[in-house]
Amino acid sequence: MQNNIFNFENTYMNLPDEFHSYVKPRKVISPKLAIFNEDLSTELGFNFSSFKPEDISNLLSGNIIPEGSSLIAQAYAGHQFGHFTILGDGRAILLGEHVLGDKRFDIQFKGSGPTPYSRSGDGLAAIGPMMREYIISEAMHYLNIPTCRSLAVVETGEDVIREQKYPGAILTRISKSHIRVGTFQFAVIQEDKDLVNKLFNYTIERHFPNLIESKSKALDFLYAIIEQQANLVTNWMRIGFIHGVMNTDNVALSGETIDYGPCAFMDHYDPLTVFSSIDHQGRYSFANQPIITQWNLARLAETILPLISDKHENALKLAEEAINTFADLYQSKWLDMMRLKIGLITKENEDKSLISELLDVMQKHKADFTNTFSLLSENTLPDVELFKTEEFLFWYKKWKLRLEKESKSFEDMRKVMETNNPKIIPRNHLVERALKKAEEGELKTIKEYIKILQNPYGSQINIADEYFMPPNDNEKVLQTFCGT
């Protein structure tokens, strides 16, 4: 079997040894391909046509090492729920960077055994959390959110012990890179300015080559990351996504959403919604996501102060000015995004209050976030409880008057709404149902669900109503778990 599927380069290895450790994936007893992403494989130029399923299983479980791979675990640190700690890839192994034209993608195994950063963990993963990441990351991609992708999940044929036994699995994850805010934090605590310099220059070359000739490279880099992260969190807020663990080690400087642990999608609108079982204070609630994004950006700024200016006070002043632009930048992006969700193309001073009034009505009546915006684009109001309330009907008249100020037809504005408001999201109760079946050995449900999630904005013909509907009271998912 030829295993040179990947066109590997290993530029991360050019960084000093402090940033990584060599490690080999743990061989597994009986690898079996559970799910494989044919579309992503084609996009990345992989050719598995001559491979049997067992060949793919052995390759994507680590039993066979791909040619040209580097096999390292990356070191990083991070503020976890506000508390700083030393971390690293405790159950992930970077195989290498697959190069496709002028693009490069990290290929990473997740759940492939212990690393020097595993601490007391076994480095393994159960099929449920790996399938969760596969489902959500692919759904996010089709929702047009920057995200890592999932190529495959391979069952290991072995049990993983958590609170009970679960089938073991390995995820193959694809990302533009795994450089994090926490990577820069790790570099700083080594007390070697050269390490920060080398990481900074590597990140610029890999993700911001347009800044290479800049005379204020570090400050421009910080502004670029601020813009990038403002765009990302605005997109999360557009679809009601709650990341769940916005620690600095989960902030990728590629601008992608990574590490889908206790993530979830909001059903009824409540800005204080939290699903993560470990977020007892609501630090990473839906409404707090932009606030925490700014906090995380400040932690990044701290790591590059000496690169912004040789004079500490000047560097601090410039960094603070940059970080302080985030709130207004985000508010502007959020308002523009929300305008599009209700079909507004032009800007009027009244728009912010109009949007806020709708959200207040939605919160009061526990209206479904996704369906409310999706159904607004209908020519006539559907038979939905919210749409019959006095408060909503009062708002609806104001909205109709505002639409009259637009030069476009309602059909044009409807298309704008349909582009920005998904009809289908990964409903938490449906995800959990599919994961439960996967743990029991039934994978058909997950595969069918993923196909449905691939067309969130389009017309869904012959799709059962349950995929559009929020959960019944007995179906509600109130907590999600990291699954480590």
| 169 contacts: CB under 8 Å, gap ≥ 6 | 34, 111, 125, 126, 127, 130, 131, 153, 154, 155, 156
In this structure, which long-range contacts are made by residues 287-292, counting pairs with CB atoms below 8 Å and at least 24 apart in sequence?
289/233, 289/236, 289/237, 289/242, 289/243, 289/246, 290/230, 290/233, 290/234, 290/237, 290/327, 290/330, 290/334, 292/246
Structure token pair of residue 66: 């791909």
Q: With contact defined as beta carbons under 8 Å apart, do 245 and 261 qualify?
A: yes
The residues that bridge with 154 in the sheet, in sequence order, are 33, 170
Residues whose CB is less than 8 angstroms from the CB of residue 309 and which lie 6 or more positions away in sequence, other chains included: 315, 318
Dist CA 189 CA 306 (whole Å) = 14
> Are residues 187 and 303 in contact, defined by beta-carbon separation less than 8 angstroms?
yes
Judge contact between 89 and 117, C-beta under 8 A.
yes
Does 194 participate in catalysis according to the annotation? no
Q: Which residue is catalytic, options 89, 106, 249, 368?
A: 249
DSSP 237: H
Residue type for 322, please? A
DSSP percent split of the chain into helix, strand, coil, nearest 5: 45, 15, 40
Amino acid found at 27: K
Q: Say which amino acid occupies 222.
A: L
Residue of 355, 436, 479 lying closest to 128 (CA atoms): 436
CA distances from 404 to 274, 374, 379, 387 (A): 38, 20, 15, 20
Residues noted as catalytic: 249
